[in-house]
């Protein structure tokens, strides 16, 4: 016996399916909530930054970890990477509209933690 009715078959998954570890967004969620992901997104709230400035803004992050997090977040569509043709090329990173919306919400969590748990 299955739970639900035959009328439920063929419908889109319900919102609670997003709580499953294998849901479509779990990889993105992992990138965003990683040790550095939330801080990289928050650092870009004030505007675009070049790699070195972003590294300096996110205290303690190594260049390797910053590169990996940027690659993941660009791939997720939350950060845009732009290259200015120059010698050497100037690469900067900025939040996309969905990235900005998410970063603002995550920043509110960081502020809450600062007020309540420190």
In-domain check, residue 62: yes
CATH of the domain at 53: 1.10.10.10
CA 28-31-35 angle, 5° bins:
155
In a domain, 110, yes or no: yes
| CA-based nearest residue to 106, from 44, 52, 47, 38 | 38
| pTM given for the model | 0.78
Q: Tell me: pLDDT of 45 over 90.
A: yes
Over range 73-99, report the average pLDDT: 95
Task: Report how far residue 41's alpha carbon sits from residue 34's, in angstroms, rounded to the nearest whole number.
Answer: 11
Residue 47 within any structural domain of the chain: yes
Instruction: Quote the domain boundaries for residue 40.
Output: 19-116
The reply to whether 60 falls in a domain is yes
* Region at 20 (left for phi over 0; alpha for psi -120 to 50; beta for the rest): beta
Residues in CB range of 104: below 8 A, 6 or more apart: 45
| Domain count within the chain | 1
User: pLDDT tens for residues 1-43?
Assistant: 444 444 445 555 555 566 677 777 888 888 888 889 999 999 9
């Amino acid at each position: 016996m299955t739970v639900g009715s035959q009328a439920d078959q063929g419908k889109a998954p319900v919102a609670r399916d997003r709580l499953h570890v294998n849901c479509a967004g779990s990889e993105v969620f992992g990138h965003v909530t990683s040790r550095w992901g939330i801080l990289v997104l928050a650092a870009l709230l004030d505007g675009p930054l070049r790699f070195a400035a972003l590294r300096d803004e996110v205290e303690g992050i190594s260049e390797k970890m910053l590169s990996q997090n940027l690659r993941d977040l660009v791939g997720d569509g939350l950060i845009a990477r732009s290259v200015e043709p120059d010698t050497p090329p100037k690469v900067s990173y900025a939040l996309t509209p969905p990235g900005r919306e998410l970063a603002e919400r995550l920043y509110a969590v960081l502020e809450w933690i600062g007020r309540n748990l420190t």
